[in-house]
Chain A
């Protein structure tokens, strides 16, 4: 019965081992079970022996089987718990081997120095053979090996329990210890003849086998459950993978998962379409290899920043396999996967957008050029005065001189004066033209030292008729001591005049509301700020648009005035801006840098 049970267990675990060659514990279990079955067979055999010689021979086989079973037990514990001390393992195996060898060589009777007689007793309802003999002193080695085995088991169990990875280890280990110790006691009783009973070591080993078998089965159950869980998890993972795949594919642009040093892990099919590199090629490339060579360093730096700050944006030219490039906007997000930093990067093709911007920029420049050309007409009305005045002086002087020359005795002093005046006026005209050209070419302004007050005076003088006829009240507020500034006088006067005229026009429809024009000039750090404030209809349009060329709210106007003003102010290194007043109207400000005179 014991043999049958052992063989069954041996069959089951032998099969397990055959299926999973790495399960050495199962192999050991199988060997142990087969050994135990053999032991049971031997025991049964000895019980029925009446001949002393054959009894002794059987005992020798029995001894070999016990050696095998013990080794298999140690092996099982070694492979299954993996917590035994190797030196204990070797001690157990060594002692057992020594016992076995000595039994075979010195003691033909194995446990006995000599067998006196074989007697038949009744044991568990059966008539069995027991030995009366003098126990061999070698027997002590076998007992010692059992004690060391018990110690080994306790130690291995204790260590395994502390490690806590085998929940049934304590139960199994302690049961095994119990059976080993019981075996030892039974052996001593049987051999030394305190009790008349046959040696039934196989029973105890079967006990150990059962305990181990239960443990193994539970293990198998657990692994089956684990496998089930794993399967579910795997399915979930598969679903997750499908989901992320779909997300990758649904991205309108490029989508990448990369390692911290730019190795490509995942990408969507858009990548192949854009770059022309196949998946196998991509796998062997680094992220920076997909962009232009001179931008690779930029990408590497941007990646470092993204890893540090959790994200980063940049724009790059993707270089396709065929050499084409396309500007892309990339957003990188750092993510930790499996404990190491990774980057998710999204890329959007912005090349058409950039092309549009370039085109828009080109158009803007063209527009600015048109604006400058068109500004001739805009400027001419006010600049014409500046130019025509000296021309008129020259012409009239020259014609007066012609008349004087026609006389018999021309007044030479008068003629000299006339020529002097002509020269002066000519220089003045040339000066104006030079300024005009500098404005139109958007060249550097010709700076001269001017007083802000004089600028206001001049501009107000030119706007005087309009201010008067519209009944506008002018207020001037200035910082107490205004510095002289370096400016191109005529263009800046034009700016002031333009802004003043705009303010006047804005107040045309004020009706009964008094028209107030406030001019101020204040020092703000290194800047001098000119402000022109009105209480007219204000700025209805988009406040940024008013500076665009050809944007106008006037029925007659090119919409270039403010554009030109801005160009002029910018050429001076300053800026021009507008704001809505709290109650009525608008205020235009422009800043000019105060340049220290000693510079």
Chain B
């Protein structure tokens, strides 16, 4: 069984890095291990796909801090925490910040591999989503200023008449703009358009 995806390990305990590397390699994963968050950041591309097995308690930069950094960088890497002394508030924080799971040491191989698989799937999904959003953003950028205004009003759920009044044009003009926005954005229904606007966080 071959996996093209890489599993990244970040843990300050080198003996554990070694053990996990052996296990995952035996399972056929490509593994990259780092004994600090900084080294990981210096070396790796964060776009994904991939799964990051991250120790929480480390000197200098903790696992949580690294996760925050990845979120800022809009990374598509799935994060799985693995920690020796986790507690509930900590795990809740991690999950809220998008972690796939929060495992405690020692972790069983079956559980670990399953979570890694889920993480990789999630990474693909995130990657796909990010690609989709990137596409929509490009299409959105291609809209004219007036079309963007109309899209914003439509996304807010205003009727054509109201939009026309707000923009100081006749209703017919709004209808024309709306049709053009739909075709430029590549959507087939109003519902889809609203959803895309939502995803692009246009408000």
Contact at A392–B57, with CB atoms within 8 Å? no
Decide if A461 is an interface residue (CB 8 Å cutoff): yes
Minimum Cβ distance to chain B for residue A410 (Å): 10
Q: Known interface pairs A389-B105, A395-B106. Does A381 touch B87 (Cβ–Cβ under 8 Å)?
A: yes
Q: Which of B69-109 contact A (CB under 8 A)?
A: 82, 84-85, 87, 104-109
Decide if A285 is an interface residue (CB 8 Å cutoff): no
Among B18, B20, B62, B106, the most chain A Cβ lie within 10 Å of the Cβ of B106
Query: Could you say which residues of chain A place their CB within 8 Å of the CB of B126?
Result: none
Among A393, A394, A395, A399, the most chain B Cβ lie within 10 Å of the Cβ of A399
* Complex A-B, nearest 3 residue pairs according to Cβ-Cβ distance, in ascending order: A392-B105, A403-B26, A400-B22
Contact at A388–B26, with CB atoms within 8 Å? no
Q: Which of B10-60 contact A (CB under 8 A)?
A: 13, 15-16, 18-20, 22-23, 25-27, 57, 59-60
Contact at A421–B105, with CB atoms within 8 Å? no
Closest-by-CB residue of A relative to B25 is A400
Q: Known interface pairs A464-B60, A464-B62. Does A388 touch B15 (Cβ–Cβ under 8 Å)?
A: no
Q: Known interface pairs A393-B15, A465-B62, A468-B62. Does A388 touch B22 (Cβ–Cβ under 8 Å)?
A: no
Closest-by-CB residue of A relative to B56 is A465
Query: Could you say which residues of chain B place their CB within 8 Å of the CB of A382?
Result: 85
CA distance A431 to B107 in the complex (A): 21
Contact at B13–A389, with CB atoms within 8 Å? yes
Contact at B106–A381, with CB atoms within 8 Å? no
Query: Could you say which residues of chain B place their CB within 8 Å of the CB of A403?
Result: 23, 26-27
> Can you give 9 contacting A-B residue pairs, CB < 8 Å?
A392-B84, A394-B106, A397-B19, A397-B23, A403-B23, A403-B27, A418-B19, A424-B15, A462-B57
Contact at A393–B13, with CB atoms within 8 Å? yes
Among A384, A389, A397, the most chain B Cβ lie within 10 Å of the Cβ of A389
Decide if A414 is an interface residue (CB 8 Å cutoff): yes
Query: Could you say which residues of chain B place their CB within 8 Å of the CB of A461?
Result: 59
Measured CB to CB, the residues of A under 8 A from B are 380-382, 384-386, 388-389, 391-397, 399-401, 403-404, 414, 418, 421, 424-425, 461-462, 464-465, 468
Q: Could you tell me the dominant secondary structure of chain A's interface residues? A: helix
Q: Known interface pairs A391-B106, A403-B26, A403-B27. Does A421 touch B85 (Cβ–Cβ under 8 Å)?
A: no
Tell me the count of chain B residues lying within 8 A, CB to CB, of chain A.
27
Minimum Cβ distance to chain A for residue B96 (Å): 16
Query: Could you say which residues of chain A place their CB within 8 Å of the CB of B18?
Result: 397, 421
Q: Known interface pairs A399-B23, A400-B26. Does A391 touch B57 (Cβ–Cβ under 8 Å)?
A: no
Contact at B62–A393, with CB atoms within 8 Å? no
Contact at A392–B23, with CB atoms within 8 Å? no
Measured CB to CB, the residues of B under 8 A from A are 13, 15-16, 18-20, 22-23, 25-27, 57, 59-60, 62, 64-65, 82, 84-85, 87, 104-109
CA distance A20 to B27 in the complex (A): 132
Contact at B107–A381, with CB atoms within 8 Å? no
Closest-by-CB residue of B relative to A384 is B85
Query: Could you say which residues of chain A place their CB within 8 Å of the CB of B85?
Result: 380-382, 384-385, 388
CA distance A403 to B21 in the complex (A): 13
Closest-by-CB residue of B relative to A404 is B26
Query: Could you say which residues of chain B place their CB within 8 Å of the CB of A414?
Result: 22
Query: Could you say which residues of chain B place their CB within 8 Å of the CB of A395?
Result: 19, 106-109
Query: Could you say which residues of chain B place their CB within 8 Å of the CB of A418?
Result: 19, 22
Contact at A392–B60, with CB atoms within 8 Å? no
Closest-by-CB residue of A relative to B87 is A381
Minimum Cβ distance to chain A for residue B169 (Å): 53
Contact at A465–B16, with CB atoms within 8 Å? no
CA distance A386 to B85 in the complex (A): 9
Among A384, A400, A414, the most chain B Cβ lie within 10 Å of the Cβ of A400
Q: Which of A385, A397, A404 contacts B57 (CB 8 A)?
A: A385
Minimum Cβ distance to chain A for residue B41 (Å): 16
Contact at A392–B106, with CB atoms within 8 Å? yes
Contact at A388–B64, with CB atoms within 8 Å? no
Contact at B87–A392, with CB atoms within 8 Å? no
Contact at A388–B59, with CB atoms within 8 Å? no
Query: Could you say which residues of chain A place their CB within 8 Å of the CB of B65?
Result: 465, 468
Closest-by-CB residue of A relative to B64 is A465
Contact at A465–B57, with CB atoms within 8 Å? yes
Query: Could you say which residues of chain A place their CB within 8 Å of the CB of B27?
Result: 403
Contact at A421–B23, with CB atoms within 8 Å? no
CA distance A404 to B24 in the complex (A): 11
CA distance A468 to B108 in the complex (A): 32
Query: Could you say which residues of chain B place their CB within 8 Å of the CB of A425?
Result: 15
Query: Could you say which residues of chain A place their CB within 8 Å of the CB of B57?
Result: 385, 462, 465
Minimum Cβ distance to chain B for residue A471 (Å): 13
CA distance A392 to B85 in the complex (A): 12
Contact at A396–B22, with CB atoms within 8 Å? yes
Contact at A389–B19, with CB atoms within 8 Å? no
Closest-by-CB residue of B relative to A391 is B106
CA distance A414 to B85 in the complex (A): 30
Give me 13 other A-B pairs in contact (C-beta within 8 A), A385-B84, A400-B19, A404-B26 excluded: A385-B85, A391-B106, A392-B16, A392-B82, A392-B105, A393-B13, A396-B107, A400-B25, A403-B26, A418-B22, A425-B15, A465-B65, A468-B62
Query: Could you say which residues of chain A place their CB within 8 Å of the CB of B15?
Result: 393, 421, 424-425
